[in-house]
Amino acid sequence: MRGIDAARTRLAVLKMIRRAGPISRVELARVTNLGGATITKVTSDMVARNLLLEERRPLKSLGRPHVLLSINPRSAAVIGVYVGHKGGLEVSLVDLGGNLLVHHSYELEHYSRIADLTHKIAVHLRHFIAVRPAHSPEIVSIALALPGTIESPDGIVHWVPTMEQTITPVGAMLSGLLDLPVTVENDVECLARAENWFGDDSLDDFTIVEVGTNLGAADYVDGVTRYGANGFSAEFAHVKAQTGDGARACFCGGRGCLTSYASTGGILRTGQSDPDRLNLDLGQIETAFLALTAAAAEGEADALAAFDKAGRYLGVALSNLINMRDPGIVLIRCITPEVADLLKGPLMETLQEHCLSTILSRTTIDVGVAMEGWRWRGAAALALEQTYLGGGIQPGGAQAS
């Protein structure tokens, strides 16, 4: 095994041990479909790096005892950082088993430049690291999730909503300021990682769509995130729902983007006399959207019509995605259960109308809400993944390169 293949194999093995451990090497080979020699090589190396623990359990009959493997949670820790649409900063310290050790929220004032935001995040992270419990494991990796267009493999942020469009090497900046490896990712990828690493079904192949302040989508294939050729994640929010002179303006500078019709702000715009503009800040949008949702739940016709239109716009876009990619499982995660209920009917009707029946009949559509704590879970999962891919820590405690 060399290069990417070796790293992916190591990631698959460690994730399975985290899910199913304590587990024997024989059982591990069976559930991962990897050869015994490969399992022995990978796990022996990880034991030497202190990432795995071996537990010997005696057999009831004569013979060699069982050796069971589990993640060593005390070997190191990672930090997951999430920047929300409303400016809050969530920071979590997580051990290598994925257990939450410390969580803290910080207020962030508005910044027009991504570089200024990055420096403020570094200030808060220095504080977080300084005041963490003295007994906590050594920190070996940091992951940052935030909304925007992000070239994740290189940690480059191209654009964040409400900020100037300046290409900023956020990952390299934070790494230099904090002297730790830093990975940066789009917030919807963060939602997908939470499902993959912490979901009850441990899904390895699926597409997830977020319906909230913004729209977004992410793909998981064979247990890892699918990026495009240039390192960008899917920009589902900017799939075109309308074209021509009547298409709504989008915050990206274009017109007709799906987010202008099916995000919380887009749904609010449907009920306005001038749907091309929504002169509300994020807090006002949240309040107005809750009121619209309540009105729809009570059967108010205009409110119901706004959700119906959003569900159908979303359904057309998802039909194109399903027909093109055959994802097998599509998770649609809405901001509240009430929103999920209001969108599900028109969404499913539209999928029935526009998807190829052969593909749709074999596709699981799950409309609901995101798991509790998905922000810290997803950000931490990215840091854990980078640590697992890199081999955890070297014998003696140094981070693997």
pLDDT digits (tens, 9 = 90+) for 66-118: 789 999 999 999 999 999 766 789 999 999 999 999 999 998 888 889 999 99
- For residues 256 and 269, is the Cβ–Cβ distance under 8 A? no
Query: Does residue 395 have a pLDDT over 50?
Result: no
Cα→Cα distances 359→202, 354, 365, Å: 23, 11, 12
Q: What six digits make up the tokens of 141? A: 């990796």
Q: CB neighbours (10 Å) of residue 107?
A: 8
The whole-chain average pLDDT of the chain stands at: 89
Closest to 331 measured CA to CA, from 165, 156, 205, 190: 205
pLDDT in tens, 286-338: 888 999 999 999 999 999 999 999 999 999 999 999 999 999 999 999 999 99
Note the pLDDT of residue 371: 93
CA max distance for the chain: 81
- The residues with which 224 forms a beta bridge, in sequence order, are 221
Q: Which helix (H) or strand (E) holds 289?
A: helix 282-297
**CA 299 to mean position of chain CA atoms:** 34
For residue range 236-273, what is the model confidence (pLDDT) as tens digits?
999 999 999 889 988 888 999 999 999 999 999 887 66
Residue 227 clears pLDDT 50, i.e. is over it: yes
Separation between Cα atoms, residue 362 and residue 348, nearest integer Å? 14
The pair of three-digit structure tokens given for residue 362, joined into one six-digit string: 């074999």
- pLDDT score of 273: 62
| CATH code for the domain defined by 3-71 | 1.10.10.10
Model pLDDT, residue 103: 95
Contact 1, 38 (CB under 8 A): yes
Strand bridging mode 89-95 / 100-106? antiparallel
Query: 314 and 347 in contact (C-beta within 8 Å)?
Result: yes
* CATH architecture, range 77-195+375-389: 2-Layer Sandwich (3.30)
Q: Is the pLDDT score of 24 beyond 80?
A: yes
Q: Where are the domains of the chain?
A: 3-71, 77-195+375-389, 200-370
**DSSP reduced 3-state for 176:** helix
* Mean of pLDDT values over 218-247: 90
> What is the third-level CATH fold of 200-370?
Nucleotidyltransferase; domain 5 (3.30.420)
pLDDT tens figures, 117-151: 999 999 999 999 999 998 999 999 999 999 889 99
Identical fold, 77-195+375-389 and 200-370: yes
Is residue 375 within 8 Å of residue 333, measured between CB atoms? no
